[in-house]
Amino acid sequence: MPSDRSRVLSVIPPMTQLNTPYPSTAYLTGFLRSRGIDAQQVDLALALVLELFTPTGLAQLHEAVLALPEGERTPQTAWFAAEFPAIAAATPRVLGFLQGRDPTLAHRINTRAFLPEGARFASLDAYVDEDGGDPLAWAFGALGLQDRARHLATLFLNDLADVLRDAVDERFEFVRYAESLAAAQAHFDPLATALAAPPNLVDRTLHTLTLAALEQHQPEVVLLSVPFPGSVYAALRIAQTIKAARPEVVCVLGGGYVNTELRELAEPRVFDFVDYVTLDAGERPLLALLEHVAGKRSKTRLVRTFWRDGTEVRYTNFVEPDIPFDDVGTPTWDGLPLDRYLSLLDMLNPMNRLWSDGRWNKLTVAHGCYWKKCSFCDVSLDYISRYEAASASVLVDRIEAIVKETGQTGFHFVDEAAPPKALKALAEELIRRGVAISWWGNIRFEKTFTPELCQLLADSGCIAISGGLEVASDRLLKLMKKGVSIEQVARVTKAFADAGVLVHAYLMYGFPTQTTQDTVDALEYVRQLFENGCIHSGFFHRFACTVHSPVGLNPAEYGVTLQPLPADGRFAKNDVAFIDPTPTDHDGLGQGLKKGLYNFMHGIGVDSDIRSWFPVRVPKTTVPRRFVERALATIT
């Protein structure tokens, strides 16, 4: 029977990211410790990758490759078999280099003779100098030794991931694992089938790591935080191992995926693996659950919690106030191996690299979104709708405590949209106290971000910001209630760029009623933003309608008809297909948007006719050639 003060272990399941811990366990562990609870944490995503690439893991992968009939070997598995001795020798050195423990190895890596090169290195051919010179000189010059080597080492690891996919598990990626089993899955059957299948090398490795974590921490309660569909399968594999080895351990499932996709959970088989599923901010539900586990609270007084009663799923929400944002405590990374994370450099773009390179302390300036009107967003859910800010004094106290604990001064503010007023107060407090950090985060491109405020934020340590330009059409921005215009975005992004801050734009296509002309014009606006030095990187994603968004709740307002969801669905419910009568080929246009943007991010083709990027015939843009330039000239 669990004791009065249960030992709690928070787990990051595979896969999330390799350069820095996903912050959920740091938040929960810090909060629970502030309440006197014995709380620990473990990152099994990082541990899994590092274990797979140990000499033992590589030897097992080699056996799996050799077991493939030669006729079934892919170019990557054939490369691995042929180069295995050199690969086995290089891999531990590469990991040490990417962990920052062996920087002088960069010289060897850059010779291009040290690393066995698989198919991923073919991407370098795109940069070959016609005169036979250095294909990466445009990116790294003569002195970019560490970054050049980091990029080559990342390509090498990507080669190894390809081999794992081809020889062991086609579902494996460094940032997601078996995502299709959980993403928009109305039925649990695909996950149930996969979890009942004989374990492969990845599963067996995760099983061993889970048992080791149980032995080390001896938890009575395990919290499995699943932020994305690509971490659900592994979380349930972990729970499966725990229940087989220590059935008395209470397993709890929560996190971003649960909060968006499992709000109407009715599938009892989920509870073959976990005991409870909690929704939204975890602090209050966990306090209630721990009281229940200790015998001090009945199940009828649980908070936002699913549980199984016989063959039925019950949901209990005894109404209690959430923990105020000021009182959630300071995140802690104690217990996580901060010196073992891998700083990767995939894309040769200074802004884009921030997501995969460097170990960032993650912190939230304010809970929720102060705008909460965008029609594509889950504005009805707690993580958006409940807006609470902490004072600048509390935030800087947390920052100072985190720097003292980790010894690292890089911060990523993970807000949905950090409020300008709070950022201004934070910047002033950082400067007043003389706290020197580097920070970046997500904002709305509000006119409140004047050149003066942008410079103040830069002076306080802001190195980069990201924000949504979305469809880059004033008509559609108004329809989606974004609250910004293209001219305004141009001025705000330019103000940040002029202050020396890198700028990333989130972009969208396929929004209801978006025409071919809208799409072509959007890419022209983006081209001009690059041309005028307003933005440094971006990402186009296709609009997905969710049941919790204004489009999903009121489709007629946006001219679309929703497709019916499966009537017998008892598992995930989030994405919903829709019919848009607007005759637009979003598949073909999406290819052109992504191709054009990728090239702009590498400084290529910024002066080209926008139509040249599309694989389908498109009309000429209607955007004036100097639209952004003129918008910037009107800055007052």
Q: 612-621: per-residue pLDDT in tens?
A: 999 999 999 9
Q: At what angle do helices 55-66 and 145-167 cross, to 10 degrees?
A: 50
Peptide bond before 351: cis, by omega within 30 degrees of 0? Answer: no
237-294 pLDDT tens trace? 999 999 999 999 999 999 999 999 999 999 999 999 999 999 999 999 999 999 999 9
Instruction: For residue 89, give both structure tokens.
Output: 């020798």
Residues in the chain: 636
Same domain assignment for residues 389 and 263: no
Check if the beta carbon of residue 293 is closer than 8 Å to that of residue 2. Answer: yes
* pLDDT for 635: 62
379-392 pLDDT tens trace? 999 999 999 999 99
Residue 602 pLDDT greater than 80, yes or no? yes
Check if the beta carbon of residue 164 is closer than 8 Å to that of residue 52. Answer: yes
Residue 353 belongs to some domain of the structure: no
313-358 pLDDT tens trace? 999 999 999 999 999 999 999 999 999 999 999 988 999 999 999 9
Domain boundary among 147, 167, 187: 167
Same domain assignment for residues 63 and 127: yes
Residue 305 belongs to some domain of the structure: yes
Residue 344 belongs to some domain of the structure: no
Average pLDDT over residues 157-185: 96
Same domain assignment for residues 266 and 369: no
Same domain assignment for residues 225 and 312: yes
Average pLDDT, the chain: 95
Q: How far apart are CA 349 and CA 536, in angstroms?
A: 8
Torsion angle of the four alpha carbons 27, 31, 33, 34, in this order, in degrees rounded to the nearest 10? 140
Average pLDDT over residues 369-388: 93
Question: Where are the strands (E) in 473-630, listed by range?
Answer: 502-509, 537-542, 561-562, 578-579
Provide the residue type at 612 as one letter.
Answer: S
* Spatial CA neighbour of 423 closest among 473, 383, 458: 458
Provide the 10 A C-beta neighbour count for residue 89. Answer: 12
Return the SS3 of 242.
helix
This prediction's pTM:
0.95
Number of domains in the chain: 3
Residue 334 belongs to some domain of the structure: no
Q: What are the backbone angles phi and psi of residue 465, rounded to the nearest 5°? A: -140, 155
Residue 468 belongs to some domain of the structure: yes
Same domain assignment for residues 159 and 196: no
Residue 403 belongs to some domain of the structure: yes
The domain that contains 519 carries what CATH number?
Answer: 3.20.20
How many helices (H) and strands (E) would you count in the chain?
23, 17
389-402 pLDDT tens trace? 999 999 999 999 99
* Spatial CA neighbour of 61 closest among 169, 219, 208, 134: 169
Q: Is 206 exposed, middle or buried (0-12, 13-18, 19+ CB in 10 A)?
A: buried
DSSP state of 125: G
Check if the beta carbon of residue 472 is closer than 8 Å to that of residue 526. Answer: yes
Cα angle: 193, vertex 195, 198; to 5 degrees: 95
Check if the beta carbon of residue 249 is closer than 8 Å to that of residue 222. Answer: yes
Same domain assignment for residues 314 and 436: no
Alpha helices in 246-376 (DSSP H): 256-261, 283-293
* pLDDT for 151: 96
Using 50, 70 and 90 to split pLDDT, how confident is the model at 123? confident
* pLDDT for 1: 38
Beginning with the edge strand found earlier in the chain, give each strand of the sheet holding 276-278 in spatial order. Answer: 39-43, 8-12, 221-225, 250-254, 276-278, 305-309, 312-316
* pLDDT for 525: 98
Q: What is the DSSP string of 131-148?
A: TS--TTHHHHTTT-HHHH
Same domain assignment for residues 437 and 585: yes
Same domain assignment for residues 301 and 373: no
In the chain, the N- to C-terminal Cα span, in Å, equals 68
411-440 pLDDT tens trace? 999 999 999 999 999 999 999 999 999 999
Residue 126 pLDDT greater than 90, yes or no? no
Q: How far apart are CA 465 and CA 406, in angstroms?
A: 23
Q: How far apart are CA 154 and CA 472, in angstroms?
A: 33
* Spatial CA neighbour of 120 closest among 68, 74, 88: 74
Average pLDDT over residues 46-70: 98
Domain boundary among 269, 302, 326: 326
Same domain assignment for residues 269 and 397: no
Check if the beta carbon of residue 191 is closer than 8 Å to that of residue 236. Answer: yes
Using 50, 70 and 90 to split pLDDT, how confident is the model at 6? confident
* pLDDT for 610: 96
Instruction: For residue 373, give both structure tokens.
Output: 């009107």
R_g of the chain computed on alpha carbons: 25
Instruction: For residue 108, give both structure tokens.
Output: 């060897």
The domain that contains 259 carries what CATH number?
Answer: 3.40.50.280
Same domain assignment for residues 294 and 438: no
Provide the 10 A C-beta neighbour count for residue 110. Answer: 20
Using 50, 70 and 90 to split pLDDT, how confident is the model at 2? very low
The share of the chain scoring above pLDDT 70, in percent, equals 97
510-546 pLDDT tens trace? 999 999 999 999 999 999 999 999 999 999 999 999 9
Residue 441 belongs to some domain of the structure: yes
Same domain assignment for residues 17 and 72: no
DSSP state of 539: E
Domain that includes residue 75, residue range: 51-167
**Cβ within 8 Å of residue 142, ≥6 positions away:** none
Domain boundary among 132, 167, 202: 167
Provide the residue type at 496 as one letter.
Answer: F
Cα angle: 56, vertex 59, 62; to 5 degrees: 155
Residue 173 belongs to some domain of the structure: no
Q: What are the backbone angles phi and psi of residue 508, rounded to the nearest 5°? A: -140, 150
249-258 pLDDT tens trace? 999 999 999 9
Same domain assignment for residues 237 and 297: yes
